[in-house]
Amino acid sequence: MTEETSSRLHATIAGRVQGVSFRYFVMEQADKLNLRGWVRNRWNGTVEVTAEGAHQDLELLLAALREGPPMAVIDNVCYDWLAATGEFISFDVVSTI
């Protein structure tokens, strides 16, 4: 993957997204798409995602974030596109902040 085709997606998902396996859903989607980064719960009840990879694959992840796993209810997805930094070697669930 070259820098020209690599992007970073940062997203915050609000709704019923904690206690419904949302983070593991995101990790599974990211693994399928060969993305790197992290997902975590936030104390305010949202889920935060930072992922890097091919822009088209990040678009697919964004579509999955808008749908979520079966028990989730998505109220809002706020996101930004940023330049990839290449700092990640895998996709992980990280500690809640």
Please indicate, yes or no, if residue 20 is contained in any of the structural domains. Answer: yes
Please indicate, yes or no, if residue 97 is contained in any of the structural domains. Answer: no
23 is catalytic: yes
Q: Which of 8, 41, 44, 66 is catalytic?
A: 41
Number of structural domains the chain divides into: 1
Please indicate, yes or no, if residue 36 is contained in any of the structural domains. Answer: yes
Please indicate, yes or no, if residue 45 is contained in any of the structural domains. Answer: yes
Please indicate, yes or no, if residue 1 is contained in any of the structural domains. Answer: no
SS (H, E, C) 27-75: HHHHHHCCCEEEEEECCCCCEEEEEEEEHHHHHHHHHHHHHCCCCCEEE
Contacts of 18 (CB under 8 A, 6+ apart): 41, 45, 47
Q: Which of 8, 16, 23, 42 is catalytic?
A: 23
Identify the domain containing residue 14 by its residue range. 6-90
- What's residue 3's pLDDT? 46
Query: Which stretches of the chain score pLDDT less than 50?
Result: 1-3
pTM: 0.93
- What's residue 97's pLDDT? 81
Taking each helix axis from N to C end, the angle separating 55-67 and 22-32, rounded to the nearest 10 degrees, works out to: 150
Please indicate, yes or no, if residue 76 is contained in any of the structural domains. Answer: yes
41 is catalytic: yes
Residue 35's domain is classified under what CATH number? Answer: 3.30.70.100
Q: Nearest-CA neighbor of 17 among 85, 65, 80, 57?
A: 65
